Chain A
Amino acid sequence: MPLQPAITDVAQLKDSPAVSALQSAGLVEGAKFDRDELTIYVDRAAIRQACEILRDRPETRFNFLSDITCVDVFPSEPRFEVIYHLLSHSQKDRVRLIARVPGGDPSIESLMGLWPGVNFFEREVFDLFGVRFLGHPNLRRIQMPEEWEGHPLRKDYPVEGYR
């Protein structure tokens, strides 16, 4: 199969219920349809609102949060991309939300109020990337030892040798 170029024009993606639902609330910063997967960029301040809309609207109903992860795009800014994978059991569809977080103030709102199951995922992102989730009741390291210094999955953290 030849690789199709990604669709990055939000106007062309209007047909997707997820894009139109977020568009009506004015939350879409950008969107991408690449390799059959839909990605929507949202502002970090609006991540909770965006997830709530996608979860509760009858036309989207992304009722399940599969995963939260993060990518460090060091040295460019905003440095972190916090990535949410939502799944809809009824529509059999997935959507990816990306919120960009600056390196100077790596923090984003926690989704504990929407899905209590984000607990371990958010703790893992905090542990390995140092992104703080505001409103998380128990934001401690989960994989690394409590007294560990640094966040291993950041790109400026060496793969081998001493820090």
Chain B
Amino acid sequence: MILNMGPQHPSTHGVLRLLLEIDGETVVKCIPDIGYLHTGIEKTCEAKFYQQVVPLTDRIDYLCPMTNNLAYCLAVEKLLQLEIPPKAQFIRVLLNELTRINSHLVWLGTHALDIGAMTVFLYCFREREQLLRIFENVAGQRMMTSYFRIGGVSLEPPIDFWKKTKDFIDKFPERVDEYEGLLTQNPIWVERTRGVAHITAEDCIALGATGPTARGSGIDWDLRRDMPYSSYEKFKFKVPVSKDGDVYARYLLRVQELRESNGIVRQAFDGMPEGPVRSDAPKVVLPDREKMKTQMEALIYHFKIVTEGFQVPAGEVYQGIESPRGEMGYYVRSDGTAKPYRVHMRSACLANLQVLEKMVVGRLLADVVAAIGSIDIVLGEIDR
């Protein structure tokens, strides 16, 4: 029998459609059908100035907007060979790890909800609300933050941002203990997840899976540690790896990542350097408001950047970073004008989705829900 799961199904986390061929309760074949959220962002980018692309990158992955901002900004900064002040880099790392926590909390909440544990969802969204308030405080927006700019970040964070962040990171490890108390030893949870949706390391490499999906199968690879960007080499953190390759392993690993991310936020918080938050490149970075209103030069630069953008030397770069879901890569090509010739996003979820078939074939229909949850897909990123 052919069963149509989605596109409007609560456990497909968006508009994923799965064509499932089933024999009784057993899945024989699984064909993902995507493209329901395709908005043509890559095409739109070609018609915008470089700085106007930043808000578009938020919309790709609405659970970790800052990660996408960072990947795009790093790619353009590489094209420009622009140096970023240390404080801006630390703020970027701090916010990126908060975003990772945010994304993992939504994943944990919805994944548990799919499998039937309602309480975890409420607990996770309690902390997520706190994080969204921090984002609102620093960027003015709860979800589509667009806080990073080419050449740094948009503004110095406000004073209560630091206090709110401190409150959050002090309490968060206890909160993770609470989630673990609800799930890790819970017999129903273990029964539904252990040994389910198994995938081997070879399959992960062959199918292009990255991030927690690959690390859950024993691939010890994290771009933050192995190919550091944005001063990640200054931070100490462990990369959790598991050899089991099942849903339970991926769950434990992401929970461990929550703790590690909290540790990175703390290190960034404690070691925050002094200095400017934007690099000294008047032709690329908008001037301060104060300067713009008092100095002729600054006013001219401001006018030129806003009306005609800035020219980027011709060339092409690829910048991959570790998003909560895996390798998020931006390929940007410039032809020397103020608009990118081509922007391509290497989506972690698109590649991760390909392992789904290997995970579910030969297993029960109910395990499909657990498998989808465990690879943590965001359809906005898959379809772009």
Which residues of B lie under 8 Å from residue A85 when comparing CB positions?
318, 329, 331, 346
Judge whether B219 is part of the interface by a CB distance below 8 angstroms: yes
Q: Which of B44, B317, B346, B351 contacts A35 (CB 8 A)?
A: B317
**Cα(A121)–Cα(B206), bound, Å:** 13
Judge whether A3 is part of the interface by a CB distance below 8 angstroms: yes
| Chain B proximity mask over A77-100: 1 for CB below 8 Å, otherwise 0 | 000000101010100101010000
Judge whether B81 is part of the interface by a CB distance below 8 angstroms: yes
Given contacts A35-B317, A71-B333, A159-B44, 13 further A-B contacts (CB under 8 A): A1-B81, A35-B315, A37-B318, A39-B316, A63-B205, A85-B331, A85-B346, A92-B227, A96-B316, A116-B207, A117-B354, A119-B354, A120-B354
Does the CB pair B35–A142 fall under 8 Å? yes
Can you offer 26 A-B residue contacts whose CB atoms are under 8 A? A2-B81, A34-B316, A37-B318, A39-B316, A64-B205, A66-B327, A67-B318, A67-B329, A67-B331, A67-B346, A69-B331, A85-B346, A89-B219, A92-B226, A115-B206, A115-B208, A117-B207, A119-B354, A120-B353, A121-B350, A128-B42, A142-B34, A143-B34, A143-B383, A152-B43, A159-B47
Judge whether B78 is part of the interface by a CB distance below 8 angstroms: yes
Does the CB pair B342–A35 fall under 8 Å? no
Residues of B within 8 A of A (CB): 34-35, 38, 40, 42-44, 46-47, 78-83, 205-209, 219, 221, 226-227, 313, 315-318, 320, 327, 329, 331, 333, 341-342, 344, 346, 350-351, 353-354, 383-384
Judge whether A7 is part of the interface by a CB distance below 8 angstroms: no
**Cα(A1)–Cα(B84), bound, Å:** 10
**Cα(A72)–Cα(B318), bound, Å:** 17
What number of A residues sit within 8 Å (CB to CB) of B? 44
Residues of A within 8 A of B (CB): 1-4, 6, 34-37, 39, 63-67, 69, 71-72, 83, 85, 87, 89, 92, 94, 96, 115-121, 124, 128, 141-145, 152-153, 157, 159-160
Taking A69-B331, A89-B219, A92-B227 as contacts, is the C-beta distance between A120 and B42 under 8 angstroms? no
Does the CB pair B35–A145 fall under 8 Å? yes
Please give the distance in Å from A152's CB to the nearest CB on chain B: 6
Which residues of A lie under 8 Å from residue B38 when comparing CB positions?
143-144
